Amino acid sequence: MQDHNKRFVERDRNWHPPAYAPGYKTTVARSPQQALVSMQQASTSELTGPDFRHLRMGSHDNDLLLNFRQDPAQGQGLPVGERIIMFGRVVDQFGKPVPHTLVEMWQANAGGRYRHKNDRYLAPLDPNFGGVGRTLTDEQGWYHFRTIKPGPYPWPNDPNSWRPSHIHVSVMGPSISTRLITQMYFEGDPLIPLCPIVHTLKDADAVETMIGRLDMARSKPMDCLAYRFDLVVRGELQTYFENQ
């Protein structure tokens, strides 16, 4: 099988957050106590994954300013908040672009309220904001969204825990081995160092991989600011001498 000539760089599980991170209380009952079982040799099952080039997307699937408008015919109904472009490149650990891969995102509105029935935070919903986007990277691995900068919100962890502004980001990459869900935080947000979920990471450099950077060059004067968020997925290698 051709796929058996591939392998992905091992995931560094000391770089990623551990399953059990008691400062983030929900992990206490949701973390395995047993060791993960290492496959040793990945098979076609792990080395392959879905390709979404034939998924039919709507024209505004990556534009959260327009994809939940209540009354687009009137030219009205834009969401309230800081208009931003969120963009970046998906590359692997060797810097190789990952083209045509699915990038999805979801977020709260400008007030920190999610369009989800379990979110009962008193900040109101925005009738013109849904908070969901998806797109495919282009030939060079670039993706773009247009959205509203989400607000921080309180959550019942410590008596006064607040999430920093963040956008949840999901990327598939070339196989289920590269599958990754993370969160993009915003450069300079003083809530980042206070957050128990950010603190699940032990390494400050790992936190840096989750920070979207203000990019004035990509902003649109008199229209919107831009934040750049590059994603790095596991590197893909060929295994030339397997079983020889």
Residue closest to 198 by CA, chosen among 9, 5, 17: 17
Separation CA 206–CA 202 (nearest Å): 8
Region binding another protein by CB under 8 A among candidate stretches 8-16, 70-78, 138-146, 214-222: 8-16
Q: How far apart are CA 225 and CA 219, in angstroms?
A: 4
The DSSP letter of residue 52 is -
- Active-site residue identified among 163, 185, 228, 234: 163
Strand (E) or helix (H) holding 127: none
Which of residues 222 and 240 has its CB atom nearest to another protein in the complex? 240
85 binds another protein (CB under 8 A): no
Among 42, 84, 86, 226, binds another protein (CB under 8 A): 42
| 168 tagged catalytic | yes
Q: Does residue 16 have an active-site annotation?
A: no
Separation between Cα atoms, residue 52 and residue 36, nearest integer Å: 29
- Residue from 22, 71, 80, 116 touching another protein (CB under 8 A): that is 116
Binding part of the chain for another protein, among 75-83, 113-121, 136-144, 214-222 by CB under 8 A, reads: 113-121
Per-residue H/E/C for 84-124: EEEEEEEEECCCCECCCCEEEEECCCCCCCCCCCCCCCCCC
Q: Does 45 bind another protein (CB under 8 A)?
A: yes
> Of 19, 124, 127, 158, which one interacts with another protein (CB under 8 A)?
19
Q: Select the span of 70-78, 136-144, 216-224, 225-233 touching another protein (CB under 8 A).
A: 225-233
Instruction: Determine whether 153 is an active site residue.
Output: yes
Report how many residues bind another protein under the rule CB under 8 A.
89
Catalytic residue among 153, 185, 228, 234: 153
- One residue of 14, 22, 53, 193 binding another protein per CB under 8 A: 53
Within 160-199, the residues that bind another protein by CB under 8 A are: 168, 170, 176-177, 179-183, 197
Q: Which stretch binds another protein (CB under 8 A): 70-78, 99-107, 139-147, 216-224?
A: 99-107
Beta bridge partners of 143: 88
- Within 13 A of 50's CA, how many CA atoms are on the CB side? 10
Cα–Cα dist 149/80, whole Å: 10
54 catalytic per annotation: no
Q: Which of 64, 65, 226, 233 binds another protein (CB under 8 A)?
A: 233
Cα–Cα distance for residue pair 111/64, rounded to 1 Å: 15
Instruction: Decide if residue 204 touches another protein (CB under 8 A).
Output: no
- Region at 189 (left for phi over 0; alpha for psi -120 to 50; beta for the rest): beta
Is 24 an annotated catalytic residue?
Answer: no
Give the catalytic positions in this structure: 114, 153, 163, 166, 168
